[in-house]
Amino acid sequence: MNWTGKNILVVGMARSGVAAARLLTALGAQVTINDSKPASELGEALEPLAGISVRRALGCPAEQVARDAEMIVLSPGVPMSLPFVAEARSRGIPVWAELEVGYRETACPIAAITGTNGKSTTTVLLGEILKDAGYSTYVDGNIGRPITEDAASTTPEDRMVLEVSSYQLEGIDKFRPAVSAILNLTEDHLARHKTMEGYLDVKARIFMNQRGEDVCVLNADDPRVYGLWERVPCRRWAFSRRRVVEDGACLQEGRLVLMREGKARDLLAAEELGIPGAHNLENALAAAAMAMAMGVAAADIARTLRRFRGIEHRIETVATVRGVTFINDSKATNVDSALVALRTMKAPTVLIAGGSYKVTDYAPLVKALDGVVTDLVLTGDTAQEIADTCDRLGFTAYHRAETFEEAVCMAYALAPQGGNVLLSPACASFDHFNDFEHRGRVFKEIVARLQREAQ
């Protein structure tokens, strides 16, 4: 696409917006950057734009500058439902997600992964499989590095793996991955998508432009996801730990196998996986199926599945301090993800939960505490809502902390010898942190201090 001289407004100066502005400027566009926050509040976020010629419209609503734009590019956190978006579209002005811009400048095949839970683990795992198989591989998207950061550097021989969120999929136009996957679908982001049907429809956009020999991999064990089967316009593969699939990957007699036209190719025994848990078995099957679709040999897939040990901030053992093991699961930004972490706990556990508000029901989380969680420490904006749910369901062993640091120290004091302190908030992080990674890093810094003090 020819961007030269095009007047483009980029809204939202988080990482994606900044990266998009840099790329578009390098491609010759006339870029205006906008954020409701002034430059003084954005701070270090704007440093990558130092010395780059962009018009700055900061500390004001996008409506004030949107009418002059020939195109609008949104960061994922900017809802498509805002009035200036509808007004622009009514005038025929394209409004795209940063993902769409990056896609149009990417020269290599793309594997794109979405779903409610497991996206990051599956994305990193698939990236490792491709790297181990000899491909120069970019791992980008919602996982933390925007696609527009790397798009211009790609060549046809490379491979790119993208974690794709529902927020990003709202703003695609021609985005077409060679291989896509939808891992699962549980209640999340309903404040933005309103209903589960609306959430499902946005997730299904990942395959809407796929055709012909492209592959879409669906979770055959998730009724909502598998219900999309007839809507897929390209080759349809599946993964399952409960049934045999025709094409994709599944579990047979305790072993992970690849399936092509009903014929199995053995990978490894489930207990050989480097990442434990039923949820990670599903993630591994999805990654294996996608890797096969991208031409990776079974032996190469199996080798990486054996050595891969997981990702930061997802059920990550941080340290053991005087007999108490601290586990960082800051990536658990919804109830279902926290439930997965609770199911992996093998010792009495103190859970730290709470964060920024999102429309959800905390009853499933509270119901899962008995027999696993000795104490629950609540922090953040949702602490009262979770406490109210505890009262309603009769779980009394909860405590309130005014700050995040107080919550970690309180959990440590409550934890029994040989037990765990698990940070699995079941909430987003935007009440007091930039993102879940920031929250996880702060958790680990506090644990490191406790460890030093214990020596």
Backbone angles phi, psi at 394, to 5 degrees: 85, 20
Residues 178-216 have pLDDT tens digits of 999 999 998 655 556 558 888 899 999 999 999 999 999
Residues 240-278 have pLDDT tens digits of 999 999 999 999 999 999 999 999 999 999 999 998 888
Residues 42-99 have pLDDT tens digits of 988 999 999 999 999 999 999 999 999 999 999 988 988 899 999 999 999 999 999 9
Residues 381-407 have pLDDT tens digits of 999 999 999 999 999 999 999 999 999
Q: In this predicted structure, what is the pLDDT of residue 400? A: 97
Q: What is the mean pLDDT of residues 418-437?
A: 93
Q: How many whole angstroms separate alpha carbon 219 and alpha carbon 241?
A: 9
Tell me the sheet residues that pair with 82.
none
Q: What percentage of the chain exceeds 90 in pLDDT? A: 85
Q: Where are the beta strands (DSSP E) in 286-390?
A: 316-321, 324-328, 349-353, 373-378
Q: What's the angle, vertex CA 402, arms to CA 396 and CA 404, rounded to 5?
A: 100
Q: In this predicted structure, what is the pLDDT of residue 319? A: 95
**Which sign, positive or negative, has the C-alpha torsion 192, 171, 184, 278?**
negative
Q: How many whole angstroms separate alpha carbon 437 and alpha carbon 312?
A: 8
Listed in sequence order, the DSSP H helices in 3-146 are 15-26, 39-42, 63-66, 83-90, 98-104, 119-132
Higher pLDDT: 371 or 295? It is 295
Higher pLDDT: 443 or 331? It is 443
Average pLDDT, the chain: 94
Residue with token string 């497991």: 118
Inform me whether the pLDDT recorded for 150 exceeds 60. Answer: yes
Inform me whether the pLDDT recorded for 417 exceeds 80. Answer: yes
DSSP string, 112-135: EEE-SSSHHHHHHHHHHHHHHTT-
Backbone angles phi, psi at 160, to 5 degrees: -130, 135
- Within a 13 Å sphere around the CA of 155, how many CA atoms are in the beta-carbon half? 3
Nearest to 77 by CA among 442, 322, 435, 438: 435
Dihedral, CA atoms, 14, 17, 18, 22, nearest 10 degrees? Answer: 170
Q: How many whole angstroms separate alpha carbon 148 and alpha carbon 345?
A: 38
**Which sign, positive or negative, has the C-alpha torsion 395, 396, 402, 407?**
negative
Q: What is each CA distance from 405 to 177, 221, 401, 415, 423, in whole angstroms?
A: 42, 39, 8, 16, 12
Name residue 193's amino acid. H
Q: In this predicted structure, what is the pLDDT of residue 143? A: 87
Q: What is the bridge-based pairing of β-strands 248-252 and 255-260?
A: antiparallel
Q: What is each CA distance from 113 to 203, 220, 290, 367, in whole angstroms?
A: 10, 15, 9, 30
Tell me the sheet residues that pair with 326.
319, 421
Q: How many whole angstroms separate alpha carbon 20 and alpha carbon 9?
A: 10
Q: In this predicted structure, what is the pLDDT of residue 196? A: 83
Give the domains, in start order, of the chain with CATH numbers: 7-93 (3.40.50.720), 100-307 (3.40.1190.10), 316-454 (3.90.190.20)
Q: Which two tokens stand for residue 88?
A: 């622009």
Count Cβ atoms within 10 A of the Cβ of residue 97 and give its class: 0-12 exposed, 13-18 middle, 19 or more buried.
Answer: buried
- Output helix, strand, coil percentages for the chain, rounded to the nearest 5: 40, 20, 40
Contacts of 455 (CB under 8 A, 6+ apart): none
Crossing angle of the two packed helices 298-307 and 278-293, in degrees rounded to 10: 150
Whether the CB-CB separation of 35 and 56 falls below 8 Å is answered with: no
DSSP string, 393-413: HT---EEE-SSHHHHHHHHHH
Q: In this predicted structure, what is the pLDDT of residue 176? A: 98
Q: How many whole angstroms separate alpha carbon 66 and alpha carbon 122?
A: 37
| Residue 233 pLDDT level (bands cut at 50, 70, 90) | very high
Residues 419-428 have pLDDT tens digits of 999 999 999 9
Q: In this predicted structure, what is the pLDDT of residue 277? A: 83
Q: Where are the beta strands (DSSP E) in 183-329?
A: 215-219, 235-240, 248-252, 255-260, 263-269, 316-321, 324-328
Q: Which two tokens stand for residue 266?
A: 């053995």
Residues 281-326 have pLDDT tens digits of 999 999 999 999 999 999 999 999 999 988 889 889 999 999 999 9
Q: How many whole angstroms separate alpha carbon 214 and alpha carbon 294?
A: 10
Q: What percentage of the chain exceeds 70 in pLDDT? A: 98
Q: How many whole angstroms separate alpha carbon 259 and alpha carbon 421?
A: 40
For the chain, the farthest-separated pair of C-alpha atoms sits apart, in whole angstroms, at: 66
Q: In this predicted structure, what is the pLDDT of residue 187? A: 66
Q: How many whole angstroms separate alpha carbon 136 and alpha carbon 127?
A: 10
